[in-house]
Amino acid sequence: MSSALAGKVALVTGASRGIGKGIALALAEQGATVYITGRTVKEGDYYLPGTVGGTAAECAARGKDSGGKGVAVACDHGDDKAVARLFEQIRREQGRLDILVNNAFTLSNDLLEPQGFWEKPLSNLEMWEVGVKSNYVAAWHAARIMVPQKSGLIVAICGYTGVTYTYGVIFGTAKSAVDRMSRDMAIELEPYNIASVSLWQGLTLTEKAQHNLAKMASKMTGSITGQAGSSVEHPGRVIAAMAADPNIMARSGATYITAELADEYGVTDIDGRRIQSVRGKRGVPLWGPIRENDYRGK
């Protein structure tokens, strides 16, 4: 069993299920100690299966031979005090943090409803609270651990919404903000050897995506539903490859299409498939690595 990340400490937010869970499993399989956050503690608390404890147990099983494991922490990323306690726990128990994956995102219940933004409630701004602000808060705490150790990787899970209308104003604006936040963080973190990148996912077959495809595919964006889709572990495999890359700083500041980055690293999905990029249908990332761009506008 590979242990490319042995001794590394990671935090994956929003990992009770879905993409976050898949990323946590992939990192643990490579030997990392993975802190798993989420709000679901007991099965039945949410309409889809998955808990933080369940993900941690699966991480332990995956990391049996590589030394990887999972640590479950119930945490609402809309609660700044709870997030502060989370990072203090990581600092106390591990003394370091090597990888932060900002995946937590609150999706409104009416996300797929074809209504104008003025017809939907202002409470949908919760997608900014847990999805934009939460990314900043987690990265703020992570940087305070990573900067003194002069190493680290911060990954934002995003999507083609940065350049293509998807599901509404708030959703698209939130994801676009995450892209830009990731890039600007890269500029300020570069002197400390900390990389910051954003990943654009195509269709990922999470529990929620499969539920929506079965129940209301007609309301979903056609260019998304027309994709074959990847497993939830595919982005985790790509992140594991990045975390083990000694030249990761050369990638810092960029937005990457996960499928294309997978090709560069020789990563396939759990069934051996090569996941196809859909840039032709969905759009092209705006940001390249800061080391290759005159990012200060000189």
Q: What is the pLDDT of residue 223?
A: 47
Torsional class of 44: left (φ above 0), alpha (ψ -120 to 50), beta (otherwise) = left
- Tell me the C-alpha distance between 138 and 129, whole Å: 12
For 52-115, give the DSSP string. Answer: HHHHHHHHHHHTTTTT-EEEEEE--TT-HHHHHHHHHHHHHHHS---EEEE---PPPTTTTS--
**Taking the chain (298 residues) in consecutive chunks of 10 residues, what is each chunk's mean pLDDT?**
86 95 97 96 83 96 95 97 98 98 92 92 95 97 98 95 89 94 97 97 69 51 60 94 97 96 96 92 92 69
Angle at 47 between CA 204 and CA 36, to 5 degrees: 60
- Tell me the C-alpha distance between 55 and 50, whole Å: 7
From the options 3.40.430.10, 3.30.70.2190, 3.40.50.720, 3.40.50.2300, give the CATH code of 9-292.
3.40.50.720
Q: What is the pLDDT of residue 114?
A: 87
Domain layout of the chain by residue ranges: 9-292
Q: What is the pLDDT of residue 208?
A: 58
Q: Per the structure block, which two tokens stand in for 176?
A: 């676009």
Q: What is the pLDDT of residue 210?
A: 57
The closest alpha carbon to 108, from 127, 122, 90, 92, belongs to 127
Q: What is the pLDDT of residue 281?
A: 87
